[in-house]
Amino acid sequence: MNVIIHIVILAKKPNYPGHVPLSPLQRIFLVAGSAIMGLKAPWRGDMISILGDSSGQPFFLRRLLKQMLSDETGRQILMEKPRITSASLNLPFLRTLPLNTLGRIYVDWIDREHVSPDTRSPTRYVDDPEEAYVMQRYRECHDFYHALCHMPTNIEGELAIKWLEFVNMGLPVGALSALFGPFRLNCNQAALFRKIYIPWAVRNGLVAKTLINVYWEKELTRDINEVRQKIRIEAAPPLH
């Protein structure tokens, strides 16, 4: 996959720091290569990020941007452009919050799952700076969905959240993971996933507020059940 990245030729001046402009042919090649690698090695977060960047424009990210612009909170997020990092969230403070708050449940979840908000790859292959931020925000909010829904980072948990993201926000990278990821489950896991978790994800994805319009940083001290009620989302059934 490194070959794919290295052969990209800059056709025009970058639109923002780190931006890699692509021709239409280069974009097609990058989508195909990152999709294949993402399916073969789903733990490669860099490949999933490249797939998200290269497949999201021109239609899907533009539609998501319009959804943010049509929502009061979405417009505030676009204006302020917050980033979700260990520093911005103040993880030590979150560990002092009551056990029932979103912030405490989130920080307990990342501690338990050994993940960090600082590991999300920067957006590089989205041309429009506003759409690039939408893609970055989409990535950085992912762990909040896990914490909110009590989903671990195992295969079933990741696939359930990908289904939720796909139904709720409609980006191709979510569709690829949602549609092809279940083939990595064994027969019993796949049957349970189809029976319980796909219906849960579809139901909640359709009913919930568009998740990218949630200003998670402003909900951290709120009771998690109040957050779920506000967003119109249910905790997932226990996986095991």
Is 143 annotated among the ligand-binding residues?
Answer: yes
Does the annotation place 158 within a ligand binding site?
yes
Measured CA to CA, the distance from residue 81 to residue 74 in angstroms comes to 10
- Give 95-102's long-range contacts (Cβ < 8 A, gap of 24+): 97/220, 97/221, 100/223, 100/224, 100/225, 101/220, 101/221, 101/222, 101/223, 101/224, 102/144, 102/147, 102/148, 102/216, 102/219, 102/220, 102/221, 102/222, 102/223, 102/224, 102/227
Alpha carbons 192 and 176: distance in angstroms, whole number: 20
Count the residues in the chain: 240
Q: Is 128 annotated as a binding residue?
A: no
In angstroms, how far is the first alpha carbon of the chain from the final one?
35
| Measured distance CA(190)–CA(140) in Å, rounded | 28
Annotated binding-site residue numbers for Zn(2+): 142-143, 146, 158
Binding region: 142-143, 146, 158
